[in-house]
Amino acid sequence: MSLDLLLLLAAALFSIGLFGALTQQSVVMLMMGLELMLGGVIVGAAAIWHFLTPDAADGQVLVVLAVTVMAVEMAVGFAVVTALFRTREIDTTDMAAELKK
């Protein structure tokens, strides 16, 4: 694959994630949009590192670290959403905004 195609894929993932994050009311769908955006950034960064320095492992290590952080962030996020839903039946961002009061 060429760098252009990989960057196009990264831009498409980021754009779909941005659309999902801005248009959805559900907390779970919002988190999925954010994950797509992060995935697009990671694909773009990995593509650039692969084409700039193919022999160095620095980019690969950073990508693996970023994917690990994404997995932990999603696990914690879903745990918080599950706890909010079980205790107060909150499943949309509008309902979660009322927690500040």
Q: Looking at the domain 3-100, which fold is it?
A: Helix Hairpins (1.10.287)
Task: Tell me the per-residue pLDDT of 84-101, one tens digit each, with 9 for 90 and over.
Answer: 888 888 777 777 777 776
Where along the chain do its domains lie? 3-100
- Cβ neighbours of residue 13 under 8 Å, at least 6 residues apart? 36, 37, 39, 40, 43
Number of residues that this document lists for the chain: 101
CB distance 24 to 88 below 8 Å: no
Q: What is the model's pTM?
A: 0.83
37-82 per-position pLDDT tens digit: 999 999 999 999 989 888 888 778 888 999 999 999 899 988 988 8
Work out the angle at residue 16's Cα, subtended by the Cα atoms of residues 11 and 20, and round it to the nearest 5 degrees: 145
Contact of 63 with 42, CB cutoff 8 Å: yes
